[in-house]
Amino acid sequence: MVKHHQHKILDCTIRDGGLVNDWDFSVEFVQDMYRGLSAAGVEYMEIGYKNSEKLLKGGASGPWRFLNEAFLRDVITKKTDTKLSALVDIGRVDERDILPREDSLLDLIRVACYIKDVDKGLELVQKFNDMGYETSLNIMALSHVMENELVEAFEEINKSSVDVVYIVDSYGSMAPKDIDYLVTKFQRLLPEKELGLHMHNNMQLAFANTITGASRGVTFLDSSVYGMGRAAGNCTTELLLSYLKGARYDIRPVLEIIEKHMITMREKWDWGYLIPYMIVGALDEHPRTAMAQLSSAERNNFVDFYDRLTSVETVPVTKG
């Protein structure tokens, strides 16, 4: 078994799960989630996005997409040892919306970016660090990143103040051998940074990938309760808690959240093991086509969907 004490579980159900249901979570659910994760010993809960409504052509989304500090104080009336984090996207966050850490309930701000925007991501990181926050840089879609792009990014990251650098498998296409390879590379080239893993479950490997990273010394481990996250979802919090065990963790409060809230949610919204998500994971592609397929009348025409994605006319041109 992996020693648990160096790891920090970061549960991102509200943030990543919000991509499934347009952040249609009740306050009661989020409060139960925070209480349950705290009782379970989970170190961080990501309570949403801190993007700016002004910078996004919104649609109707719940408040967890554009977190507001006053609202947050009404929801989280008693802060526990479980720290709170929020995610921001490059170009979608208005830094003026972010209070200094001492005036905020948030502890950690995570900056999501693609490899081409690492410089912009690090500028934001610097600002948030200066405001007193813990920070992470989450490099998305790593399965599409070229070696030379990574090496260039590492040079900038090494010079930066970022605390944690995340390996993100946005397309859920990675396997444990890829995690081995990437973690070894990140550890060698970013010796002073803590590492994190955010895995999607298209190939049903998110848990295997996460514990592979944990056994290699990755400290920040993302998960979501009942795997609720975009498309095939994430490594599940309950599996991670059971596997890492130790005195600090207790799975029971998380089972309570699932029983009370998430069985009905799973009936209402699609996430998890669905064939179109498996297909895009196997093809190492963004899940948007699978999400569109599942919202259409042809949702179960798997063969046609597969043929469309693999026919020569529709195969995207790859770089290099």
Q: Tell me how many residues contact ligand LCEJXURD (CB under 6 A).
A: 8
Q: Choose between 112 and 225: whose C-beta lies nearer to ligand LCEJXURD.
A: 112
* Closest separation in Å from C-beta 140 to ligand LCEJXURD: 4
* Interacting positions 181-200 with ligand LCEJXURD (CB under 6 A): 198, 200
CA distances for 300 relative to 147, 212, 217, angstroms: 37, 33, 41
Q: Choose between 198 and 261: whose C-beta lies nearer to ligand LCEJXURD.
A: 198
* Interacting positions 12-31 with ligand LCEJXURD (CB under 6 A): 16
Q: How many whole angstroms separate alpha carbon 183 and alpha carbon 216?
A: 7
Residue span 224-243 as binding mask against ligand LCEJXURD, x where in contact by CB under 6 A, dash where not:
--------------------
* Interacting positions 150-169 with ligand LCEJXURD (CB under 6 A): 168
* Closest separation in Å from C-beta 189 to ligand LCEJXURD: 20
CA distances for 157 relative to 34, 128, 160, 212, 303, angstroms: 32, 15, 5, 24, 43
Q: Choose between 129 and 234: whose C-beta lies nearer to ligand LCEJXURD.
A: 234
Evaluated on CA atoms 163, 234, 104, 80, the torsion sign reads negative
Radius of gyration, CA atoms only, the chain:
19
Q: Please, where are the H alpha helices in 193-236?
A: 206-215
Q: Which of 209, 211, 224, 170 is nearest to 12 (CA)?
A: 224
CB 228 within 8 A of CB 18: no
Q: Choose between 112 and 211: whose C-beta lies nearer to ligand LCEJXURD.
A: 112
* Closest separation in Å from C-beta 277 to ligand LCEJXURD: 13
Q: Which two tokens stand for residue 108?
A: 């950690």
Q: Quick one: which of 72, 112, 179, 211 contacts ligand LCEJXURD (CB under 6 A)?
A: 112
Q: Choose between 4 and 198: whose C-beta lies nearer to ligand LCEJXURD.
A: 198
User: Per DSSP, what are the bridge partners of residue 222?
Assistant: 10
* Closest separation in Å from C-beta 168 to ligand LCEJXURD: 5
Q: Choose between 20 and 253: whose C-beta lies nearer to ligand LCEJXURD.
A: 20
CB 198 within 8 A of CB 214: no
Q: How many whole angstroms separate alpha carbon 156 and alpha carbon 153?
A: 5
Q: Which of 87, 90, 161, 91 is nearest to 131 (CA)?
A: 161
Q: Choose between 83 and 200: whose C-beta lies nearer to ligand LCEJXURD.
A: 200
Q: How many whole angstroms separate alpha carbon 314 and alpha carbon 308?
A: 7
* Interacting positions 38-77 with ligand LCEJXURD (CB under 6 A): none
Report the first-to-last Cα separation within the chain, whole angstroms: 41
User: Is there binding between residue 140 and ligand LCEJXURD (CB under 6 A)?
Assistant: yes
User: Is there binding between residue 210 and ligand LCEJXURD (CB under 6 A)?
Assistant: no
CB 1 within 8 A of CB 245: yes
Q: Choose between 193 and 200: whose C-beta lies nearer to ligand LCEJXURD.
A: 200
* Interacting residues with ligand LCEJXURD (CB under 6 A): 16, 112, 138, 140, 168, 170, 198, 200
